[in-house]
Structure 1
């Protein structure tokens, strides 16, 4: 370290003389700094109570002036700076406002030093010019320390806040939220307790998660809050005036895998049920996708998922003899039945889809009726066969039919 020169010591003595004089004007300097800080920054006034601001400024100015009297290694003002920066971060004061306060502190302090020297020691003004660097270096050091501490504290607060938000969102989605949790969630998530919501579950190809897919917080006029679950993602959607058709249209732009969409619910306390229904709707999708399943359009298939024992009984009773055929014959008849149902019983349209003659479809339909014992002109029998087809698709592990 370079030993102090006569010039350096002259500067220090000049500053120390001024600092001792300014300590006697501490309330006056504090009042000026508080007034300038609050007068030009409404956010500061909103975040920091006046009495606390006055007391902390008084202590900060006192320590800043005292630091001039101390050796550089004894910077006690920096200890106070760390504590105050942490406090301001906790109060939600923007970092920009905090740093502006330090710039104002430098201006007030330097102006007071200049005024004192002009009155008391005008012959030392040339030395004061050389002292300017020392004063502003001290202010810069405080600003750097405050910025560092503020940033670290802000990240800690944001981390805890995010954990709380996620916990509240999980409670809503799991249906484990009582009235108090619902109110807390509404405040933390900035969502009304009573409003139109839907829940969406999404499974991307390969089971990718947030790290691989950027999930949007908004889709058009819709607001989405995402949570990661094992094997899929879940979003709470604030619908506003949008419909489920609007939601599905927006989802089609981002869903490359499969998705389930719940019915509309009217409050945060219903999100647990909506989540369950969206998950069931997603289970009706074929592997791979892209496919978006709305619960209100997949109720029969969801019923099959919810009652696998009954579904297998229906498959065995309705399609047992057909499933016992050799694979090629079985698959041809199943494909014909599925296409015929999709074409609303039109043999001509089914023939067009399957690239065969209309009479071929009619002959296959008659054979299906013989094997199943169901008539494809009787509504109740059609329901049995349609549900059995859904069960085969959704429950591939069903035991083979007997007979």
Structure 2
């Protein structure tokens, strides 16, 4: 088949004799193997203690030499050992390309030594070796492939375990746990400073897709983000650079967030993330259900006070806006829209009229009617605060 002479039982016997004759030279082969590996890369010596590496290399080469001359029906001990070695090297942190190189280098040494052992001495054995070249290198390739597969599988498992451990540390910080050394361990694992300015961002999650694109869009110098997906929101821990603050963070996120979000005030380090997360969630709660922007708690304090006390907020709405809420929806909406415009224009009826496309007297008439319905005067600061907070509480109420 393919013009090649099939190997006979006699060939296998001669090949086994050549391999058996090579075994006494194994210590010098291992010495040479480790010398060449060290010349190729100093990483071997940094990762693997010499005596451990020597013993493992001696066993691997011996098993490999025995496998070359073993009948094909025999158990592939060489592949079993390669799988074990691949897992071990991944755990030790030796780069995969060096693992493959090690197998190749050992294969060259064994093959060259087999040829040297019979060249010019036994032409018949030399012919058998040449007919066996494909089989020998197939065995080396198979060992390297099995070791690589085991390496990658172990690497993925180690990464998964590490990710789970880091996520557990981050969750503990975000939940406000205060175990000794927790912040320091999280700082080391997440490669973040333990102390320094931090903020927490909480985003309302409506769609799961597009998150990776969003995360790429907000990668900017001066900010480092670590994200944690939860059931109904996504939490971002933000390490702020020395020259960046909440203004820069809000500008970065504005228009890029896929949904509404809240930003906490600045806190002093990882140990304060639990407090920051609660404040960011409170900021998010000040966003109406149909909102799409991102808000800062320090700019929404009155509204945050309302939403943080839902029972009192409901009582405030009933007490202040009870009569307003009995109006027809369209009539009610006109009055509340006029109040919003007047407040946004800092109490200027003329500017509010321009925004509402009506006469300024119309604005005055609507505001007077609102005063009558609420029994409050917008000219009195205390009454104005009550009306404004009641409107915010109504806007944010679930119903």
Residues 61-114 of structure 1: CA deviation (Å, up to 9, x unaligned): 111112234222332222211111111111222221211111111111112222
SS state of the match for residue 25, structure 1? Answer: helix
- Aligned-pair distance for 1:215? 4.7
What residue is the counterpart of 1:273 in the other structure? 275
Instruction: Indicate the residue corresponding to 2:26 in structure 1.
Output: 26
Which shows bigger deviation, 346-355 or 363-372? Answer: 363-372
TM-score relative to the length of structure 1: 0.89
Work out whether 1:315 is the aligned partner of 2:314. Answer: no
Partner of 1:156: 157
CA contact (8 A) 1:321 1:372 kept: yes
The answer to whether the aligner puts 1:132 opposite 2:133 as a matched pair is yes
TM-aligned CA distance change 1:277 to 1:35, over 3 Å: same
Which residues of 2 match residues 234-245 of structure 1 at below 5 A?
A: 234-241=235-242, 242-245=244-247
Aligned residue in 1 for 2:144: 143
Counterpart-to-counterpart distance in 2, 1:65 and 1:366: 99
The offset of 1:5, in angstroms, is: 6.6
2:202 alignment partner, SS class = strand
Quote the offset at 1:16 in angstroms.
Answer: 2.5
Unaligned runs of 5+ residues in structure 1 are: 398-403
Post-superposition offset of 1:332: 2.1
Coordinate RMSD, CA, aligned = 2.6
More moved, 341-350 vs 150-159: 150-159
**In 1: Cα distance, 2:210 partner to 2:167 partner:** 17
Is the partner of 1:73 in helix, strand or coil? coil
How many Å separate the matches in 2 of 1:315 and 1:253? 32
Match of 1:257 in 2: 259
1:350 is aligned, of 349, 352, 374, to 352
More displaced stretch, 6-15 vs 278-287: 6-15
Q: Structure 1, residues 216-244: CA drift from partner, whole Å, max 9, x if none?
A: 26522233222221222111122223322
Deviates more, 1:341-350 or 1:7-16: 7-16
Confirm or deny that 1:49 pairs with 2:39: no
Matched, 1:165 2:166: yes
Match of 2:298 in 1: 296
What SS does the corresponding residue of 2:73 show, helix, strand or coil? helix
Say yes or no: does 1:394 pair with 2:396: yes
Provide closer, same or farther for how the CA distance between residues 316 and 239 of structure 1 changes in structure 2, counting only shifts above 3 A. same
Judge conservation of contact 2:376–2:383 (CA < 8 Å) in 1. yes
Structure 1 residue matching 2:236: 3-state secondary structure: strand
> Which residue of structure 1 aligns with residue 111 of structure 2?
110
* CA distance 1:84–1:184, shift in 2 (3 Å): same
Q: Which moved more, 1:130-139 or 1:317-326?
A: 317-326
1:209 maps to what in 2? 208
After superposition, what is the alpha-carbon deviation per residue over 1:11-62, rounded to whole angstroms, capped at 9, x for unaligned?
4344323322221111111111112223322333333232221111011111
Q: Which residue pairs with 2:58 in the alignment?
A: 58
Equivalents in 2 of 1:379, 1:183: separation in Å?
Answer: 48
Say if 1:265 and 1:120 are closer, same or farther in 2 by CA, change over 3 A.
Answer: farther
- 219-228 or 132-141, which moves further after superposition? 219-228
Q: Which moved more, 1:383-392 or 1:71-80?
A: 71-80
